[in-house]
Structure 1
C-alpha cells in the first residue's frame, strides 16, 4: 500500500513539532514563516563514498522504520567496508516521511550536513528507545539528546528543529523523489537506475558485484 505524506499535511505535522520540539517558535509563526518563504531552502543530497564511484546505490529509508534500522545496523556496515570504502559504490541516502517522527528525526540529522551519517547511525541504533518514549514531547526530547550528543549546540538544534521552510521543502523533495521512483515501502533501493527491495548482505553483494562488473 502506497503511503505518501501529502504536502498539505506538512503544516499539521509541524504544528505538533513546533510545540513539542523546543517551544522556540509557535506553530503558527513557523507555518507563517514557511508560507512567506519565496525561495525554498536548498536540500542537500546526502552521499557517502566517492562521488565518482562506478556504482550508485540510492537508499530510500525512514528513521522510524524498523527494517531500515536493521539494514543500517547489520547490513550497511558490511557494504560500507567492502564496497563504499573501496571506491566501488557511492551511497545516496534519501529520506522517506511516513510519519511526523521520521520528519523530526530527519530535521535533527540534517542540522549539520557534514554530520548527517553519524547522526543517522545514532538515530537508527537507538530507534528502539526514542521511538517508544510514549509522547510527542518524549520523542522530541530523545531526538534532541541525539543531536546534542553529536555536538550540535542547543541554539542551532532548536533552530533546525523549528525550521518550517526547511521542513516544507523536505516534504516536497521527498514526494517528488518517491513518486518518480515509485517508492511505496522502506527500505527501498535504486542501484544504477534499477529498483531493488531489501535483501541480505550476501544478496546485496551479488547485485553490487554484477553492477560493478557491468560498469568496467
Structure 2
C-alpha cells in the first residue's frame, strides 16, 4: 500500500490536484515560467511565514533557500547556528525562512518540513539539510520521497500526516505561487540569498554576516 502511494506521489497523479507536483518548479525557459505563474491560481494567505526571533527585533533577515541547494545546507550547518545564538536568541534579529523551488524534490522537502507546523518546521528543516547528501542524491522520485518520509517520521510525524501533506495539491500550488511572487519582489536569482532590513545580499561567511548585522543594529539604534 505504502509503495503504491509513493509511486503515485512520485509521478504526482493523485486526486485532488497534486498533479501540480509534476510541473517543473523553475523552468529553464523564463517565458514558460511566466506562463505558469499566470495560469496557476494561488492563495498566499494560506501560507504561514516561518519565523524565529522576537517580532519587534530591530533587524529582520529573510533567507531564501532551496532544500536541494548544497550551499544552503552548508550555511545552515555553519553560519546559521552562530547567527541564531548571537543574534536571533538574543532578540536582535527576526529571522524569516522562505523556500525556493528550483526542482520538485525541493518542493517535496518543503511540504514535509511544513507538515509539522510552525513548532516543528525548523527542527525538520535541520534534519533535511543534515541528510541532504543522502536523499537529494537518489535517482528516482520514489526514493527521494521515501527518504523524506523517514526524516518526517524521525521528527514525530505519522504515516497519515505525511500521506495527507504529500498529496495536498492545493498547498503545493499555493506554495509555488507564493514562492514566485516573493522571488520576483526581492529579485531572488540564486540561493542562499538574504534580505537584511530591505537590502539584498548573497551568501557570505559568518564574520561578514555578523559585520552587516552589527551595522544594521547600529543604524537602528541611531534612528531611535
Q: 1:70 to 1:39 in 2, by over 3 A?
A: closer
TM-score in terms of structure 1 length = 0.85
Give 2:8's aligned residue: 19
Instruction: Please give the alpha-carbon distance, in whole angstroms, between the structure 1 residues aligned to 2:208 and 2:193.
Output: 14
Q: Is the 8 A contact 1:33 1:165 kept in 2?
A: no
- Conservation of the 8 A alpha-carbon contact between 1:41 and 1:166: no
Does the 8 A contact of 1:188 with 1:197 survive in 2?
A: yes
Residue 134 (1) aligns with residue 139 (2): yes
| 2:88 aligned with 1:99 | no
The runs of 4+ residues in structure 1 deviating greater than 6 Å are 32-35, 37-41
Where do residues 1-216 of structure 1 align in structure 2 (5 Å cutoff)?
Answer: 19-20=8-9, 27-31=13-17, 42-113=46-117, 114-216=119-221
- Report the CA distance shift for 1:130/1:32 in structure 2 as closer, same or farther (over 3 A): closer
Q: Which runs of 5+ in 2 are unaligned?
A: 1-5, 21-38
Q: Compared with structure 1, are the counterparts of its residues 18 and 192 closer, same or farther at alpha carbon in structure 2 (3 Å cutoff)?
A: farther
Query: Quick one: distance in 2 between partners of 1:38 and 1:50?
Result: 29
Q: In the TM superposition, what is the alpha-carbon distance from 1:32 to its structure 2 partner?
A: 7.7
CA RMSD of aligned residues (A): 2.4
- Could you tell me how far apart the structure 2 residues matched to 1:38 and 1:188 are? 24
CA shift at 1:30, angstroms? Answer: 2.9
Q: Secondary structure at the match of 1:57?
A: strand
Change (3 A) 1:207 1:115: same
Q: Is the 8 A contact 2:82 2:206 kept in 1?
A: yes
Q: CA deviation at 1:20?
A: 3.8
SS at match of 1:60: strand
Q: For the residues of structure 2 that align with 1:38 and 1:130, how far apart are their CA atoms?
A: 28
1:13 corresponds in structure 2 to none
Instruction: Give 5+ residue unaligned stretches, structure 1.
Output: 1-16
Secondary structure in structure 2 of the residue aligned to 1:152: coil
